[in-house]
Amino acid sequence: MGHRERLRERAGAGGLAALPDYELVELLLFRSIPRGDVKPLAKALLARFGSVGGVLGAPIAELTSVKGVGEAVALDLKLVHEAMLRVGREQVKKRTVITSWSQLLAYVKAAIAHEPREQFRVLFLDRKNQLIADEVMNHGTVDHAPVYPREVMRRALELSASALILVHNHPSGDPTPSSADVDTTRQIVEAGRTLRISVHDHLVVGRDGVASFRSLGLM
């Protein structure tokens, strides 16, 4: 209890930003584990998932595979992650995507960089390039998430979207686009052209960063 109080006092006096990662995770664990030394568990989580973002972004099933993490602890960590995503989504929605590009990249990285399976999402935009919806179109395997251009366009028409940004993750961590990614993007761009729906970009998200098709000259 003395250690917990001292850590809380240091957090209050110096600010949370001054704490090392393991102590920040400790403070989170205090909420769901009211007694005992949680420092070893905080360090075990960071060792397993690589970073605070990795811990928060990990699926519940993977979190509970770490000794000492039960359903309640995992759920508390996921609540923090969900709150973080909602704040990021609100920041993106308040401005046009083009003028909040850095916030958009931070949002998509927080959302899916640590997903263990590929996930294909589409950001649907209105005529002012403001976010209408962010929807998961498909879940896949560790290296493939099939997506069907007709389904993407059908949903775009339902939402009266004028433009899209495609987003998917590479669980390997390397965001370098594959030949299959390039082919899928080409098909969706062509499908959108006939309906006058623009595809602004395709973002490939990995733990090592975010690759933009447009910046890479791939579209």
Mean pLDDT of 117-144: 85
Confidence bin at 10 (pLDDT 50/70/90): confident
Residue 9 pLDDT > 80: no
104, two tokens: 């958009």
The answer to whether the beta carbons of residues 62 and 114 sit under 8 Å apart is no
> What's domain 2-84's superfamily in CATH?
5' to 3' exonuclease, C-terminal subdomain (1.10.150.20)
pLDDT value at position 47? 94
Residue 144 has pLDDT above 70, yes or no: no
In the numeric block, the tokens 């990285």 are attached to 109
25 pairs with which residues across the strands?
Answer: none
List, in order, residues 6 or more apart from 205 with CB less than 8 Å away. 108, 109, 111, 112, 113, 167, 168, 169, 170, 175
Residue 89: pLDDT over 80? no
pLDDT of residue 192: 96
CATH 3.40.140.10 segments of the chain: 96-212
Q: What is the pLDDT, as a whole number, of residue 42? A: 95
> Start-end ranges of CATH 1.10.150.20 in the chain?
2-84
- Residue ranges of alpha helices (H) inside 94-216 are 101-112, 149-158, 179-195
Mean pLDDT over 126-155 rounds to: 83
Once rounded to an integer, what is the mean pLDDT over residues 119-147?
83
Distance between CA atoms of residues 74 and 76, nearest Å: 5
Q: Write out pLDDT tens, residues 25-47.
A: 998 998 888 888 899 999 999 99
What is the arithmetic mean of pLDDT over 57-65? 91
Q: Sorting pLDDT into bands at 50, 70 and 90, what band is 121?
A: very high
Which stretch of 79-88, 124-133, 162-171 has the lowest confidence by average pLDDT?
79-88
CB atoms under 10 Å from CB of 194, counted, come to 8
Q: Inform me whether the pLDDT recorded for 95 exceeds 70.
A: no
CA 205 to chain centre: 8
Helix (H, G, I), strand (E, B) or coil at 82: helix
* 96-212 CATH: 3.40.140.10
